[in-house]
Structure 1
Amino acid sequence: MSLKNRSVLVTGGAGFIGSHLVDALVREGPENLVVVDNLYLGKDENLREARESCPSLSIYHQDVADYDAMQAIIEKEGTDVVFNLAVIPLPASLEEPAWTFRHNNDMVTTICELARKDAFETLIHFSSSEAYGTSIYAPMDENHPLNATTPYAASKAAGDLLIFSYCRTFGLDAALVRPFNNYGPRQNERSYAGVIPLTIKRILNGEAPVIHGDGRQTRDYLYVTDTARAAIDVYNTSATRNRVLNIASGKEVSIEHIIRFIARYMGCEKNIVYQPERPGDVRRHIANVFLAEDLIGFSPQVSFDDGLAQTIEWYRQHLALR
């Protein structure tokens, strides 16, 4: 299977992971490439490199939950494949839980219904490791129970179950990518920022780094370009259909280690400030990636420390230009 000469649409394509996926898709040579993003967190500037490489790239500032609008775009663009990354992020669910849950599932429902009605052929959907909740056993494989601890996580788990129900009931051609924690250039550093860009921004602003909780919480981080490449490989491999694949490094790192690495690399001498842990924060995450290794030959290409150094340098340059 190949994306060459296909018409590909990426929802959430102006976001962090989405824009890196668009960059990778450009290199696949699709006949048509389309981004749909309402810019809730995405930025048009994230697509600058893709626009330079693919001047024909079409961009729609549209809410994916709007069925009629999405149907019109897909029909106009002759879409064959949808990579679905549109999402309201976890921190928003701590402030507006009902809206976050409802909107995330409205977006998934829209995409499923359009696929059911043959508006496009194949769906590659981005799930989240948050759907697992805190690790019951480690490493966490795809059979780990879904034990969401935030409304966001519950919305992702519900979306996954909805897609699988459409696969079994209506024969959707779909596969799920379940990334663990991603990091790299372009990750949102504004509202709802992740720990890595938020820490870098604080230090650049002369502030002390912050840890919520004791810092012993662990995550499994993967450089964003490795995730983008894996998503394309999932599409290219028919054995992934009606399945979910963990995409991660398979290595565990503590939040404290990450903060101290960033502070040391950036020459920050301020003491870390410890604040109360965030509601619903998972305690431990580490992935079993054997299935991805078996089905798509997955192997991370960027080490954590190298990727973190590249990320810090990108933010230094990017934020200095503002």
Structure 2
Amino acid sequence: MNILVTGGAGFIGRWVVKKLLDDGNTVTALDNLSNGSIENIEEFKGENFKFIEGDIKNKDDLDRIFEDKYDIIYHLAASIVVQESIDDPEKTFFNDTVGTFNILERAKKQMFGQHGKMNGSIWNIDENDEVYPCKVVFMSTCMVYDISGETGIDEQHSVKPVSPYGGSKIAAENMVLSYFNAYKLPAVVIRPFNTYGPFQKSNGEGGVVSIFLKNFIDNKPINIYGSGKQTRDLLFVKDCADFVVNAGYKSEVDGEIINAGTGNDITINELANLIAGKKVSVNHVEHIHPQSEIMKLKCNYSKAKNLMGWEPHYTLEEGIAETKSWLASTIK
């Protein structure tokens, strides 16, 4: 298959690209490199992989990208930093919501043609249009949810956007599902829980596991925002990439919202102590934007298991060990 991955040079994007290439697909990665990097994808150079630097908000870039036809579009490009979305909501909205609309429009045009019209629920395709079927996989986030109970969050759980990031993602989700329902464009919304692993940034834009591990390796104190009693369901990136890719392969999930996580959560205090051991100190610092914090996140992934046959394979300890080894190897 010929596949497009937006945000393909990002942390999760590069692992999705790798999985797709390992499966024998031809892959084009689109990224504006605002968060991703060429170093993430340099190992993929070859006849089955192409990288295009461009932006999902730029019409000319999208014209260039959609000169090709794609069987699946994995739409991962987004502004992803929750705290940044509070400080700069306009950037997040245009990247995450408007950018998603742009991708949906291009997918609709590819599948039904520039001049295609709906008559009731039936598409009338203009014979002069070159059309090609495709599917859109939209990556949302667990950060759209309200606080979890002990049984975990399933897809029927209430949503409660506590940041413009969460609000922008919910708006984009609704656009994706509207294109499935209104236009019959094959699409699925996926909500991975907090993902970590090799190639994730370990600075302020990175994830909590990578930041804590980098401080441990550098023999620096680990700082926790707030009380540290907030919990996260931590999904290793290889499990996440397997989930993302298979959501594109499986028609059973079209029109659905699907979670992915481990079904286990850990407090940030427990995570910090697990990583720090007795080598570095653990401190609590004032939370920058406490209103954006969801105090308990725990996934119920039974829908993914039932519809896709997916479940995670890495334990937290295994994932941390592999991430730590990778981070140590990057220090020069």
Q: Give the TM-score normalised by the residue count of structure 1.
A: 0.91
Listed one character per residue, the Cα deviations across residues 135-184 of structure 1 (whole Å, up to 9, x for unaligned) are 26741100111211111111111110111111111111101211000010
Q: Which residue of 1 aligns with 2:300?
A: 288
| AA at the equivalent of 2:164 | P
Q: Displacement, 1:117?
A: 1.4
* Contact 1:14/1:35 (<8 A) preserved: yes
| AA at the equivalent of 2:22 | R
Listed one character per residue, the Cα deviations across residues 86-131 of structure 1 (whole Å, up to 9, x for unaligned) are 0101232132122212321111010111122125611111110001
Q: Which residue of 1 aligns with 2:13?
A: 18
Please point out which of 44, 60, 77 is paired with 2:38.
Answer: 44
Please point out which of 193, 203, 211 is paired with 1:198.
Answer: 211
* Contact 1:91/1:192 (<8 A) preserved: no
1:73 paired to 2:73: no
Q: Displacement, 1:293?
A: 0.6
The structure with more radius of gyration? 2
* Contact 2:69/2:110 (<8 A) preserved: no
Please point out which of 151, 155, 166 is paired with 1:142.
Answer: 155
| AA at the equivalent of 1:276 | E
Partners of 1:239 and 1:193 lie apart in 2 by 33
Q: Which residue of 2 aligns with 1:303?
A: 315
Partners of 2:288 and 2:107 lie apart in 1 by 37
Q: Show the 5 A alignment for 1:86-125.
A: 86-89=77-80, 90-118=82-110, 121-125=134-138
CA RMSD of aligned residues (A): 1.6
Ranges in structure 2 where 5+ consecutive residues have no aligned partner:
112-132
Q: Which residue of 1 aligns with 2:254?
A: 241
Q: Displacement, 1:29?
A: 0.9
Q: Displacement, 1:55?
A: 4.2
Partners of 2:40 and 2:29 lie apart in 1 by 12
SS of residue paired to 1:125: strand
Partners of 1:143 and 1:117 lie apart in 2 by 31
Q: Displacement, 1:67?
A: 3.2
Partners of 1:160 and 1:278 lie apart in 2 by 27
Partners of 2:8 and 2:256 lie apart in 1 by 23
SS of residue paired to 1:259: helix
| AA at the equivalent of 1:121 | C
* Contact 1:124/1:235 (<8 A) preserved: yes
| AA at the equivalent of 1:275 | V
Flag as ranges the 4+ runs of structure 1 deviating above 6 A: none
* Contact 1:128/1:179 (<8 A) preserved: yes
Q: Displacement, 1:27?
A: 1.2
Partners of 2:272 and 2:34 lie apart in 1 by 27
Q: Which residue of 1 aligns with 2:73?
A: 82
Q: Which residue of 2 aligns with 1:3?
A: none
Size of the alignment, in residue pairs?
Answer: 308
| AA at the equivalent of 1:300 | P
Q: Displacement, 1:277?
A: 2.6
Higher alpha-carbon deviation: 299-308 or 192-201: 192-201
Q: Identity percentage over the alignment?
A: 28
